[in-house]
Chain A
Amino acid sequence: MTETPKRHLFDDPKNIRRVRQVLYTLCALSLGAELFVERHADHPWEALPGFYSLYGFVACVILVLVAKELRKVLRRGEDYYDG
């Protein structure tokens, strides 16, 4: 094991930062697109500006935080059923 390990794409923290920056840009662009896209809303909530963005973000945060609490209740050892 003397050979130097090959450097891969995400071994460089700069590249990880770049991926995040691309995501931030895409978020901003998709939000900004609302100014240009004509919408006919099937439902009043849909017509709220930024509804989908907010819903997506909040839904995922709630999902993860609730799941985290659930884990405290539900998690058992790997051989729980084998006993």
Chain B
Amino acid sequence: MGSVAPFLIFFVAAAIAGLTRGWLRSIVLLATPIVGAANLYLMAPDASLQVPLLEFTLELIRIDRLSLLFGYLFHLAAFLAIVYALHLRDRTQHVASTLYAGSALGAVFAGDLITLFVFWELLALTSVFLILARGTRRAYRAAMRYLVIQVLSGVILLAGAVIHFRATGSIAFEFIGLKPLGSGLEGVASWLILLAIGIKCAFPFLHNWLTDAYPEATPTGTVFLSAFTTKVAVYALARAYPGTELLIYAGATMAMFPIFFAVIENDLRRVLAYSLINQVGFMVCGIGIGTALALNGAVSHAFNDVVFKGLLFMSMGAVLYRTGRINGSELGGLYKTMPVTTALCLVGAASISAFPLFSGFVSKSMVMVAALDEGYPVIWLALLFASAGVFHHAGIKIPYFTFFAHDSGLRPKEAPPNMLLAMGLGAAICIFNGAYPWVLYSMLPFAVDYQPYTDAHVMTQVQLLFFSALAFVWLQLTGLYPPELRGLNIDAEWSYRKALPAVARRITALAAGVRDVVLGRGYTAARRLIAGLYRTHGPEGAMARTRPSGYMAMWMTVLLSAFLLLSFI
């Protein structure tokens, strides 16, 4: 039996959703991920769909344990986000988000680099509407920056793919591995493709599109955004670059530096965006270590992160939807009227902080144990620092400043039922995966020989977290904790949002100066030339003087007489 490509179901559904309205559209949207997941379940384990294109054969479906896990994850994430966005009466957002989820599935099942490139760019083109839909000028400008960077990532991927094809004669999307730049075309291709993936993965210095654009999207849009783009990149990295040592350091850096920004950031969805980079750092690190345990850790953490980060973004989205505010400095005390959202947010906070019985506990530690096993104790310390930091900014700061802290006086209504349902489902999955990880473990790419619930692991993790909380309490009581302040913190994006424009302005000013000088001098010279020509050739000039014809006759006579005289000599 022929298989239906997973992305196709979403693309067709998006078309139908565009033509329907009201409850009919809701049913279509809700049915899409369910039908999609059923299609995936019924697909033969060796299913494959190949389409010839010119001299190439495109592989639209490539099924293995890695792609299948991400496939199911994206169906789940799409379902939760669709439920969360069900109250919207916004055709553009519904269609764009369905196409976006479909593109993510297309990328994950792509067996060749050309197909991957197409879906890579579609991810950018479809998701940008979720930012634009916010309708503010800030959002518009952030969306344009997002689009430029994402499309650039795709163009780099295409360049890498073309060079890779020239070097190897194959377009298959398989293990690539980083090769030295000096090793010819293959080396260049491997670096280009890594750079393309690195942009989408939010590598250090390439990360600001994420913290720039995600907090500007609509409350529901950010939930979709947080699930797909970075996780497609993590998937691509796990497929093409496992065991690349550079990634260990890149990942540890990603896990470390965003937490400092998260502590002082006021926009709570931007705090979560930094926290997203921090969690992706654990995954990148695991992929870099590259052992079966580390890769299992990276992939299972990607699964858990989509759900708990989605849950946290949902709870902040609900607050934004109900109050119109998202800055920590303007919120507080919302537990009084939004108790259910508060409780569900706390489940997300416990999960990202890796409390025992919550999902982060069973996946993050695999990467950390692998780091120690493979002899990277400094990396392990960095990840441990990041773990304490995550708890601090995502586990405590987010719920504390939103729902507790000082009373802002806001008394918003509880979140709408569809939002509560989506958050409730997310929270249930967080607890299920945390308390009973074996279902998740059974889906991982490698057989799992890891036991998260040992006495020592539970005790040490609990010590780490309780004493981190103690530090928070101590800093609060002594007044050392920095208050939530309005304002923004500059980051690497300063280079292209401030420095580059300033340099461009300087160059423009310089060019204008040069132009003025050149044109000024040239103008004077040209004027002199024209004046000179005018003097000689103008109406009054010597060359333009009109002479009587007798003048001519006289000179002819003189000439002829001279000729006559000369002929006699």
Contacts and interface: CB of A to CB of B under 8 A. Distances in A.
B is bound to A: yes
A38 B458 CA distance: 12
Interface in B450-506: 455-456, 459-475, 480-482, 485-491, 497-498
A56 B471 contact: yes
Contacts, number: 144
A76 B475 contact: no
Given A23-B470, A71-B264, A56 B463 contact: yes
Contact of B335 (A8, A45, A57): A8
B463 A31 contact: yes
A52 B260 contact: no
Contacts of A57: 467-468, 470-471
Contacts of A71: 264, 482, 485, 489
B389 interface: yes
B468 A34 contact: no
Interface stretch (B59-67, B214-222, B369-377, B549-557): B369-377
Interface residues of B, number: 51
A65 to B, nearest CB: 7
B389 A59 contact: yes
B263 A63 contact: yes
Contacts of B467: 27, 30, 52-54, 56-57, 60
A20 B404 CA distance: 14
A61 B471 contact: yes
Contact of A56 (B333, B468, B473, B498): B468
A70 to B, nearest CB: 6
Interface string B360-379: 00000000010011000100
A68 B388 contact: no
A70 B428 CA distance: 38
Contact of B392 (A40, A54, A60): A60
Chain B interface SS verdict (over half): helix
Contact of B480 (A10, A42, A65, A77): A65
A4 to B, nearest CB: 14
Nearest to B256: A63
Nearest to A27: B466
B146 to A, nearest CB: 14
Interface in A19-72: 20, 23-24, 26-27, 30-31, 33-34, 37-40, 42-43, 45-46, 50-61, 63-68, 70-71
A61 B487 contact: no
Contact of A26 (B373, B466, B490): B466
Interface of A: 6, 8-10, 20, 23-24, 26-27, 30-31, 33-34, 37-40, 42-43, 45-46, 50-61, 63-68, 70-71, 74-78, 80-81
Interface of B: 259-261, 263-264, 333, 335-336, 369, 372-373, 377, 380-381, 384-385, 388-389, 392, 404, 455-456, 459-475, 480-482, 485-491, 497-498
The 6 closest A-B pairs by CB, nearest first: A60-B471, A67-B263, A56-B467, A56-B464, A52-B463, A74-B489
30 contacts: A8-B335, A23-B466, A23-B470, A26-B462, A27-B470, A30-B462, A37-B459, A40-B456, A42-B373, A45-B381, A52-B464, A52-B467, A53-B464, A56-B388, A57-B468, A57-B470, A59-B384, A60-B472, A64-B392, A64-B480, A70-B261, A71-B264, A74-B264, A75-B264, A75-B485, A77-B487, A77-B488, A78-B488, A81-B497, A81-B498
